[in-house]
Amino acid sequence: MSGPSSSATTTTVWLTYYTKLHFFTRIRRFLKSKAAQKNKPRTKVMIDNKEVQIKVTMDGETEDDSLLLQRSVKKLHFGSWEEKELAAKEIGKLAKENVKTRKLMAELGVIPALVELVASEVTARRQNKALMVEAGIFSKLPKNEDVSEDLIMHDFAELILSLSSLAKTQFHLASSEVLPFLVGILESSSSVETKESCLGTLYNLSAVLENAGPLISNGVVQLSWA
């Protein structure tokens, strides 16, 4: 015959089960609500054995654009030279159309890959440099206040240095973007290597007479005497 103590024990057990069930029900409801709020799915890209997530639908960007960016980044890192060249042009188009894509370029390691792509002096590579310039690559340069990491600035500086090798041919100086960017780095606390790349670019640009005016008006001459 069960006594009061047995009844109390049974009540305690059921109360414990009820409390746990109520707790997990609330947790499940909370997780469902959080999942419902994430109406922007993400796709994953492997870069240098690191998993990077990209929002599939960014502001002003369609899902097709995001998938195209994902494929282009993969080709840029792991494809053949021809695939890398096509990927560079596709990324350039996407970056021109969407501001967030430009900022995402550095995170996905696009800039070092572009540096490697344009570093070769093979004729085909030189043609690719010209295509990148024509596509408006300089309009995608970040403002100094937007990019604080010296490594990223170094990558951009190397990219511009390589592109500036076209100075004696079809290279056109976009002074409103390139020169302020270079001068800003030279006046900053960036590394010596980064500043050397900027100086190399200015040297290449100075080889073209028509660049003299923009170089002077942007304070390059005064900077050299500082």
Residues 156, 214: one domain? yes
What is the pLDDT at residue 215? 82
Q: Say if 14 falls within a structural domain.
A: no
Q: Say if 3 falls within a structural domain.
A: no
The tokens describing 48, both together, are: 């240098």
Q: Say if 1 falls within a structural domain.
A: no
Residues 133, 52: one domain? yes
Q: Which of 140, 172, 198 is the last residue of a domain?
A: 140
The domain tally of the chain equals 2
Backbone angles phi, psi at 45, to 5 degrees: -125, 135
Nearest residue to 124 (alpha-carbon basis) of 89, 81, 166: 81
Q: Which of 96, 123, 140 is the last residue of a domain?
A: 140
Residues 129, 172: one domain? no
The amino acid sitting at 170 is Q
Residues 136, 167: one domain? no
Residues 73, 159: one domain? no
Nearest residue to 59 (alpha-carbon basis) of 111, 104, 109: 104
Question: What is the pLDDT tens value at each position of the chain, 226 positions in all?
Answer: 555 555 666 666 666 666 656 555 655 665 565 455 454 444 444 444 444 444 444 444 444 566 777 777 777 777 776 777 777 777 777 766 666 666 666 666 676 777 666 555 444 455 555 555 555 556 556 555 445 566 677 777 887 787 776 655 445 555 567 888 888 888 888 888 888 888 888 888 887 777 788 888 888 777 755 5
pTM of the predicted model as reported, rounded to 2 decimal places? 0.44
What is the pLDDT at residue 211? 78
What is the pLDDT at residue 8? 60
Residues 111, 134: one domain? yes
Element (H, E) at 54: strand 50-55
Q: Which of 90, 118, 140 is the last residue of a domain?
A: 140
Beta pairing partners, 42: 55
Residue with tokens 């109406």: 39
- Domain of residue 82, residue span: 39-140
The tokens describing 67, both together, are: 């998938």
Cβ atoms within 10 Å of 78's Cβ, excluding its own: 13
Helices (H), strands (E): how many in the chain?
Answer: 11, 2
Residues 128, 153: one domain? no
Q: Say if 165 falls within a structural domain.
A: yes
